[in-house]
Structure 1
Amino acid sequence: MFASICRRRLFRFRQIPSAAGADPSRRPYPIDALLSHGYSSAALAGAPLPEPCPATVSNLTSCGLSPASTAARKHSIRSADRADAVRALFRSYGFTDADITEIVRRASAVFTLDPDRILRPKLDLFASLGVRPRRLSTAPILFMRSLDNHLVPCVQFLRGVLGTDADVCDAISRTPRGLLADLEKNMRPAVAALRRLGLPDEFISKLITIEMGVLMLSPDRITQIFEYLKLLDLGVTDRGFLYAFRALCCLSRETWLRKVALYQSFGVSEGELLKAFKKQPTITLFSDEIITKKLQFYLDELKLEVSDVMRHPVLMGYSLEKCIIPRCAVLSVLMREGKIEPNIKLPTALLGSAKNFSDKYVMRYAHDVPDVVKAYEGKIKFEGFR
C-alpha cells in the first residue's frame, strides 16, 4: 500500500548523437554517454486541495509550520491527542523540534499512526542500530513501511552483506531512502548484479555503505555504469571506482550534462573534466552555485589557470569560507613578511589536512609572525595576493 508512495529512481544509459560533423569514435571520452531518466509521479494540476481541519492547523502550528502549507492540505490530522502522543514519542527517542517539523513537512501522515503499536517498534529497531534521529527525519516515509514484512527483512539482508550493525547503521545514516528499496525486486538483484560484474564482496559492502541508493538501481542500470567506467579505464579494483560509481548513481541525464556545460563554460576541456572526475568524482555532485562560486574564486581572485584546478580537483571539495580563504590569508601574511616566496606553487600549498597546513605555515611562524594565527582564525581578511 505504501510502496506506491515511494518514488523509485531507475536510470539507464543511451548514447546521444554527437554534434554535426563530429566522429564519436574519435572522442577521447564519451562525455555524453552518461544519460539517465528518473521516474516520478506527476502532480495533479488544477485540483484544489481541501482546507485543513482545526486539529491539523493546531498541530502544524505547534510544529512550526504554516497552516497554509502543502503538508496541511495533503493530510488531515483528525485526532489531536494522537498527534500529540506521536510528537511526545519522537521526543522521547531524541528527536528535536526541528526533526519533528521536518517529519511533518515530508510525511505528516506519520502523525496519524498509532504511536505504541506502529511507531515504537520501528523506533526501537533504528535505535538498536544506532541510527540518529536527524537522519531518520529526512526519510520519515520509512515509518510507514511494515516492520515485519519490510524493515526487519531488509535490515537482516544488509547485515548479511555488510557484516556488522555498525556498517548497517552507517549505510542507513548516509542514505536513509535506500531502505525503501524492495528486498526481492531491488536489493537482492542489485547485489547479484554487482557480484556478476566482478565486484568483490568487500567492495560491494563498502559501496553500499557509502551509497545505499545503489540498491534501488536495476541490474541493467548497474551494468551500464560498469560499462561507462570501463570507458574511463576504471577497473573494479581501482581506488576511485567505488566513488565514481557512487557519483553516477546520483546523477540524472540532465544534471550530468548541465554540470559538464557549467565546467566547460569556465574553459574546462572534456578531457580535463573526465580526468578530474576519475580523481575526484564528487566534483560533479556539488550544486551549480557552489561550483560557480569556487571556480570564480580560484580563477578571478587567486589568478589560477583552470588547468591548475583540474589537475588538483580535490580543491573543489574544500570549503572556501572554512578552509581555502583562511589558508590564503595565512599565505598572504607570510608573503608580506618575506617568509615565503610570492611565486609559491599555490595549489600545492593549499592542499592537505588542516593539521599539516597549520604545522607548516601557522605554528612554524607563529612566534615570529603572530598575524598568521589571526589570519588563520579569520581575524585578518584575505584581500588577494600582492
Structure 2
Amino acid sequence: MLASICRRRLLFRIHQIPGGGGGGGGGGTNPLQSIPPARNSYSSSAVADVSNSEPCPDTVSYLISCGLSPTAAAAATTGQRLRICSTDKADAVCALLRHYGFANADIIRTLRSAPSILIVDPERILRPKLDFLASLGLEPRKIASAPFLLERSLDKRLVPSMQFLRGIIGSDDGLRLGFSRAPRALMAGVDKNMRPVVETLRRCGLTDAAISKLLVIHMGMLMASPDRIREVFDELKEIGMCISDSRFLYCFRAMCSLKRGTWRRKLELFQSFGVSEGEVLQAFKTQPTIVLSADESIKRKVRFLLDELKLGMTDIMLHPVILGYSLDKCILPRCAVLTVLMREGKIQRDIKLLQALLGSSRIFSTRYVLRHANDVPDVVKAYEGKIKFENFIQ
C-alpha cells in the first residue's frame, strides 16, 4: 500500500523526464522537486572519531540488538570508524525502515552491509530516498539486497541515474521491471558506467529498441566494462549468433554474466558428459541460462536425469529447459507426483518422463495434480514435498 502511495505521489514527475532517444537521455530537471536536497549522505558530527580499526563495542551491541549475529555485527563495523552516538537516531532509522515495509530479515540484511545508515538523519536524508525507491516500485526486500543504494546521494546519483535510463528505456513499466531485477544498477554512475555502456552497445550494432529491451532483461550489465561488452559480441559472433536472432539478447545477457574462462569451463563441463561442443552450443542458444548455474548444481542435475530418468545426454541437450529447473524445488516434487500416480495406476509406468516433467507449474499442476487430487490425495502431498521422491519403480 505504501509503495503504491509513493508511486502515485512521484509518478507524474517521472513522466516529466525528457526522453533520451538517440542522445542518451542524460539531461532534464530533477523530477523530485518537492524532496529536500540530500546534500550529504551523513553528518560528519554524527560519527565519533575512532582511532583504530577495531569495532566500537556499543555499536556492535546495538547491531546485535537489531538481529545481527555477534560475528556479523563485528564484521559490519570493523574498519568503518563507525560509532553510534545516538541510539534515538538509530532507533528512528529502524522505525522508518519498518514503516516502509522492511521486515526484520530485510533490516538485518541492510544493516549487515550498510550499517552507516543508522547515523543518518532519518527524515531529512533517508525518507526522501525511500520515497524515491518506492516510486520506482522497488520492494523492501529488493532494496535490502542492494542496501548501498541508501548511502548514495539522491540528487547527485540516484535521480540522475534514473533520468538517464528513463530516456533509454522509455517506459515506466520497463524501468521498474529492470530495477526490480537488478536494484544495484542504480549504483552505477551515469558518466562512468551507464553512458559508456550504452554507447558501446550502439557501436556494436544494437538498435535503441534492442538496448532498451536488453536493459530491462539485465540492467546489471550497466556495471560491465565496454571492453567486456565488445568481447562478448565477438564471442557470440564466433559461435554463430547474429544480432538479428531473437535469442541474441538473452545469450548476450548470459555470457556477459560470465568471465571468459568461466564460459570455456562450462562448455567443457557439459562436454564431459559425452556430447559435442556443437550440441552444447545449440543448447545454450535455446536456453542461455544453462551456463549460469554453479558447476556442482549442473553435475547433480545432469546425473539425476541420466541415472534416475535414464535419459540420454543428447535428449537433455535437445530439451535444455529442463536444466533451468531447480532440482529440489521443481524436478524432484514432480517426480514424486508421477511415482504416486504410477503406484495408483493413474498413469503408465512407461510414460515419457522428460515430456511429463516439462512445462510451467500451472500446466504440470493442472495435468497431474489437480486432475487426480480427489481420487489420490497423496499427489498434493507429493507436490508440496511432504512425500519425497525415492525412485521410479520399473
Q: Partner of 2:145: helix, strand, or coil?
A: coil
The answer for the alignment partner of 1:54 in structure 2 is 57
Q: In the alignment, is the contact (CA less than 8 A) between 1:329 and 1:382 conserved in 2? A: yes
Taking the aligned partners of 1:134 and 1:356, their CA distance within structure 2 comes to 29
Q: Partner of 2:185: helix, strand, or coil?
A: helix
Q: Deviations over 1:255-279 (max 9, x none)?
A: 3344334333333432222111111
Q: Say if 2:193 is the partner of 1:190.
A: no
Q: Deviations over 1:2-46 (max 9, x none)?
A: xxxxxxxxxxxxxxxxxxxxxxxxxxxxxxxxxxxxxxxxxxxxx
Residue 368 of structure 1 and its aligned partner are, at CA, apart by 6.4
Residue 335 of structure 1 and its aligned partner are, at CA, apart by 4.1
2:133 aligned to which of 116, 126, 131: 126
Q: Say if 2:78 is the partner of 1:73.
A: yes
Q: In the alignment, is the contact (CA less than 8 A) between 2:184 and 2:220 conserved in 1? A: yes
Superposed CA RMSD in Å reads 2.5
The answer for the alignment partner of 2:324 in structure 1 is 317
Q: What are the within-5 Å matches in structure 2 for residues 302-381 of structure 1?
A: 302-336=309-343, 340-364=347-371, 372-373=379-380, 375-381=382-388
Residue 109 of structure 1 and its aligned partner are, at CA, apart by 2.0
The answer for the alignment partner of 1:111 in structure 2 is 118
Cα separation, partners in 2 of 1:73 and 1:220, compared to 1, 3 Å:
closer
Which ranges in structure 1 are unaligned for 5 or more consecutive residues?
1-48
Amino acid at match of 2:240: D
Amino acid at match of 2:100: Y
Cα separation, partners in 2 of 1:278 and 1:114, compared to 1, 3 Å:
same
1:160 aligned to which of 158, 167, 171: 167
The answer for the alignment partner of 2:94 in structure 1 is 87
Percent sequence identity over aligned pairs? 59
Q: Partner of 2:114: helix, strand, or coil?
A: helix
Residue 191 of structure 1 and its aligned partner are, at CA, apart by 1.4
Residue 337 of structure 1 and its aligned partner are, at CA, apart by 5.2
Taking the aligned partners of 1:345 and 1:332, their CA distance within structure 2 comes to 13
Residue 156 of structure 1 and its aligned partner are, at CA, apart by 0.9
Q: In the alignment, is the contact (CA less than 8 A) between 2:84 and 2:118 conserved in 1? A: no
Taking the aligned partners of 1:172 and 1:222, their CA distance within structure 2 comes to 20
Taking the aligned partners of 2:370 and 2:122, their CA distance within structure 1 comes to 55
Taking the aligned partners of 2:69 and 2:372, their CA distance within structure 1 comes to 54
Taking the aligned partners of 1:340 and 1:245, their CA distance within structure 2 comes to 41
The answer for the alignment partner of 1:298 in structure 2 is 305
Taking the aligned partners of 1:148 and 1:74, their CA distance within structure 2 comes to 28
Residue 101 of structure 1 and its aligned partner are, at CA, apart by 1.2
Q: Deviations over 1:180-230 (max 9, x none)?
A: 212012211211222233323222112111211222223332222122212
Cα separation, partners in 2 of 1:135 and 1:368, compared to 1, 3 Å:
closer
Taking the aligned partners of 1:340 and 1:247, their CA distance within structure 2 comes to 38
The answer for the alignment partner of 1:231 in structure 2 is 238
Cα separation, partners in 2 of 1:320 and 1:56, compared to 1, 3 Å:
same
The answer for the alignment partner of 1:175 in structure 2 is 182
Amino acid at match of 2:332: I
Residue 91 of structure 1 and its aligned partner are, at CA, apart by 1.7
Taking the aligned partners of 2:357 and 2:327, their CA distance within structure 1 comes to 11
TM-score, length of structure 2 as denominator length? 0.78
Amino acid at match of 1:286: S
Which ranges in structure 2 are unaligned for 5 or more consecutive residues?
1-51
TM-score, length of structure 1 as denominator length? 0.79
Residue 346 of structure 1 and its aligned partner are, at CA, apart by 2.2
Bigger shift: residues 209-218 or 369-378: 369-378
Taking the aligned partners of 2:230 and 2:356, their CA distance within structure 1 comes to 40
Cα separation, partners in 2 of 1:359 and 1:123, compared to 1, 3 Å:
closer
Q: Partner of 2:246: helix, strand, or coil?
A: coil
2:66 aligned to which of 43, 63, 68: 63
Residue 363 of structure 1 and its aligned partner are, at CA, apart by 4.6
Q: In the alignment, is the contact (CA less than 8 A) between 1:110 and 1:140 conserved in 2? A: no
Amino acid at match of 1:62: S
